[in-house]
């Protein structure tokens, strides 16, 4: 790989280093199997005026050796001695880059040839738009396109264009739906709204989209220009795992702080038309109004954030009296709400256990208590109390144990983290796996059911339990 330095042309003499139109940034980490495809997909672009800035984030495999095999003056490689995280590597690429536009490419993804040409043309023709995205082509670990109609993620990025305020509304209520490696962003965006937040692991791009839409319009080209990789075992950094699920909820709560940056009621009203319908609303009410909207969603992380905003508003002398007069909401209303929303699921934690424990497997042993009653003991007795105290656990366990839709061998083979954890697999599926979108067998797709019926997703009920207890009689289908 050659360094991008000033050179000499025999016809025109000394030349100075040219500034490329596009800076392609690639944060690289342990993707030796894919990094060459990623780089080559950039070199194969029909638009040639670019540089490639790569930061290797302390890879333990031979990623660096593969990168250095490319002999192209447009490639510059920076190396971290130790792993610092994808955001730190991405930010280093941005700081080292020089282009008018910045395009991000993950080291395990790839572009289709016309990606840069079409997106540069759009931003050149639409100066009021801060970023442009595209549709994506899902591929597997062998770079083969995924075309199965029941592939859960198939349409996750297939969303319609909106105004920036409509996007802010969508982000608030629905979450992220934009693909980072499909983006082309004006350089000045980063100077104005900030870089990626290194304290975020799962949602740094979503955080950036919110900050961008607070100031700029964005657009999605209706073409598949990115080959976006899906790992079958969810082993990619953003895979559907318990740890990522927990972190996503935490980070989602942090991201809501961005909405406090609304400066005017007009901005708030354009994003949330119902928020300012009450007469007498002032700009000082924005945090309180956003808090109320968040609480009304019923989603725990939003409820917590919303209650905190209302509480902070009440710390302003006299503000509680104002909210009582204008919004008919005072201290007692707040106190009632803070006790109504069981954010930490304490009702489950403190509820009496259902006894006696069900015998879950052949390892269950028995003993005689002082009353002469035989007690059954199983792995359930040593689980955290919040599991033992789930009121309907035993009922759901019996229901799914006898159901043809649950296959223990299938569940363990497709969820190696469950097998390693030693947690009883059906218990894991009931308490966590179902709502994480994990499939209990080849006959039932939790992801599809939750996606098809959003009310089930927000209810917190295990999707297969819901289908068997309610969905069948309600006429809900699995197709």
On whether both 246 and 284 belong to a single domain, the answer is no
End-of-domain residue from the set 306, 340, 374: 340
The mean per-residue pLDDT over the stretch 118-122 comes to 98
pLDDT at 374: 37
On whether both 226 and 128 belong to a single domain, the answer is yes
The mean per-residue pLDDT over the stretch 8-36 comes to 76
Q: Give residue-wise pLDDT tens across range 317-360.
A: 999 999 999 999 999 999 999 998 888 877 766 654 433 333 33
pLDDT at 236: 56
Q: What is the mean pLDDT of the chain?
A: 86
On whether both 166 and 289 belong to a single domain, the answer is no
End-of-domain residue from the set 250, 272, 294: 250
The mean per-residue pLDDT over the stretch 185-211 comes to 97
On whether both 242 and 307 belong to a single domain, the answer is no
- For the chain, the domain total comes to 3
On whether both 186 and 84 belong to a single domain, the answer is yes
Q: Give residue-wise pLDDT tens across range 44-55.
A: 999 999 999 999
Structural domain includes residue 443: yes
In contact, 143 and 224? CB cutoff 8 Å = no
Nearest of 49, 413, 354 to residue 233 by alpha carbon: 413
| Residue 14: how many other CB atoms lie within 10 Å | 8
Residue 388: is its pLDDT beyond 50?
no
pLDDT at 232: 81
> For residues 338-365, b (16+ Cβ closer than 10 Å) or e, as one string?
eeebeeeeeebeeeeeeeebbebeeeee
Q: Is the Cα dihedral 66, 69, 72, 75 positive or negative?
A: positive
On whether both 443 and 465 belong to a single domain, the answer is yes
pLDDT at 240: 57
Share of the chain above pLDDT 90, in %: 66
On whether both 117 and 229 belong to a single domain, the answer is yes
pLDDT at 357: 38
End-of-domain residue from the set 250, 282, 306: 250
233-247, 337-351, 448-462: least confidently modelled range: 233-247
Structural domain includes residue 347: no
Residue 385: is its pLDDT beyond 60?
no
On whether both 121 and 53 belong to a single domain, the answer is yes
For position 43, which CATH number holds?
A: 3.90.550.10
- 388 versus 462: the higher-pLDDT residue is 462
Q: Is the Cα dihedral 293, 295, 297, 301 positive or negative?
A: positive
- 155 versus 168: the higher-pLDDT residue is 168
Please report which confidence band the pLDDT of residue 225 belongs to, taking 50, 70 and 90 as the band edges.
Answer: very high
Structural domain includes residue 108: yes
pLDDT at 392: 64
> For the whole model, what pTM was predicted?
0.73
Q: Give residue-wise pLDDT tens across range 394-450.
A: 788 888 988 889 999 899 989 888 887 778 899 889 988 999 899 999 999 999 999
Q: What is the span of the domain harbouring residue 389?
A: 353-471
Structural domain includes residue 476: no
> For residues 366-382, b (16+ Cβ closer than 10 Å) or e, as one string?
eeeeeeeeeebebebee
Structural domain includes residue 404: yes
Residue 140: is its pLDDT beyond 70?
yes
On whether both 379 and 424 belong to a single domain, the answer is yes
Share of the chain above pLDDT 70, in %: 85
On whether both 325 and 444 belong to a single domain, the answer is no
On whether both 153 and 177 belong to a single domain, the answer is yes
pLDDT at 253: 96
Structural domain includes residue 203: yes
Please report which confidence band the pLDDT of residue 17 belongs to, taking 50, 70 and 90 as the band edges.
Answer: low
On whether both 391 and 328 belong to a single domain, the answer is no
Rounded to 5 degrees, what angle do the CA atoms 433, 439, 443 make? 145
The mean per-residue pLDDT over the stretch 155-184 comes to 95
The mean per-residue pLDDT over the stretch 123-143 comes to 97
Structural domain includes residue 116: yes
Structural domain includes residue 59: yes
Residue 373: is its pLDDT beyond 80?
no
């Amino acid at each position: 790989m050659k360094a991008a330095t000033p050179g000499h042309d025999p016809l025109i003499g000394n030349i100075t280093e040219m500034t490329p139109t596009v800076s392609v940034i690639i944060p690289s980490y342990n993707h030796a199997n894919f990094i060459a495809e990623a780089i080559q997909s950039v070199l194969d672009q029909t638009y040639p005026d670019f540089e490639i800035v790569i930061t290797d984030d302390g890879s333990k495999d031979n990623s660096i050796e593969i990168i250095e095999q490319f002999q192209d003056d447009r490639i510059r490689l920076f190396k971290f001695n130790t792993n610092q995280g994808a955001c730190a590597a991405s930010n280093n690429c941005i700081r080292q880059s020089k282009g008018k536009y910045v395009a991000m490419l993950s080291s395990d993804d790839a572009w289709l040839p016309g990606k840069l040409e079409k997106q540069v043309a759009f931003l050149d023709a639409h100066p009021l738009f801060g970023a442009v995205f595209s549709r994506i082509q899902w591929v597997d670990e062998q770079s083969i396109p995924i075309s199965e109609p029941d592939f859960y993620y198939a349409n996750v990025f297939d969303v319609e264009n909106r105004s920036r305020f409509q996007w802010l509304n969508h982000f608030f209520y629905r979450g992220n739906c934009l693909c980072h490696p499909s983006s082309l962003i004006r350089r000045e965006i980063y100077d104005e709204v900030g870089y990626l937040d290194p304290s975020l692991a799962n949602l740094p791009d979503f955080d950036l989209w919110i900050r961008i839409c607070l100031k700029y319009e964005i657009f999605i080209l209706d073409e598949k220009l990115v080959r976006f990789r899906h790992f079958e075992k969810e082993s990619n950094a953003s895979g559907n795992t318990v740890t990522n699920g927990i972190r996503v909820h935490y980070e989602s709560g942090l991201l809501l702080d961005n909405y406090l940056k609304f400066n005017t009621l007009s901005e708030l009203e354009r994003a949330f038309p119902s928020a300012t319908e009450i007469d007498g609303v002032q700009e000082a009410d924005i945090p309180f109004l956003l808090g109320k909207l968040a609480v009304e969603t019923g989603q725990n992380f939003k409820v917590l954030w919303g209650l905190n905003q209302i509480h902070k508003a009440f710390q302003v002398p006299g503000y509680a009296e104002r909210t009582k007069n204008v919004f008919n909401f005072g201290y007692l209303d707040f106190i009632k709400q803070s006790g109504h929303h069981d954010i930490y699921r304490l009702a489950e934690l403190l509820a009496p256990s259902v006894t006696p424990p069900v015998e879950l497997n052949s390892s269950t042993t028995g003993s005689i208590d002082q009353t002469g009653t035989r007690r059954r003991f199983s792995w359930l007795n040593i689980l955290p109390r919040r599991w033992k105290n789930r009121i309907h656990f035993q009922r759901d366990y019996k229901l799914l144990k006898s159901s043809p839709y649950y296959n223990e061998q299938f569940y363990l083979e497709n969820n190696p983290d469950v097998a390693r954890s030693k947690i009883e697999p059906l218990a894991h599926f009931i308490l966590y796996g179902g709502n994480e979108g994990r499939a209990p067998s080849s006959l039932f797709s939790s992801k599809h059911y939750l996606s098809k019926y959003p009310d089930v997703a927000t209810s917190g009920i295990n999707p297969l339990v819901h289908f068997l207890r309610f969905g069948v009689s309600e006429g809900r289908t699995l197709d």
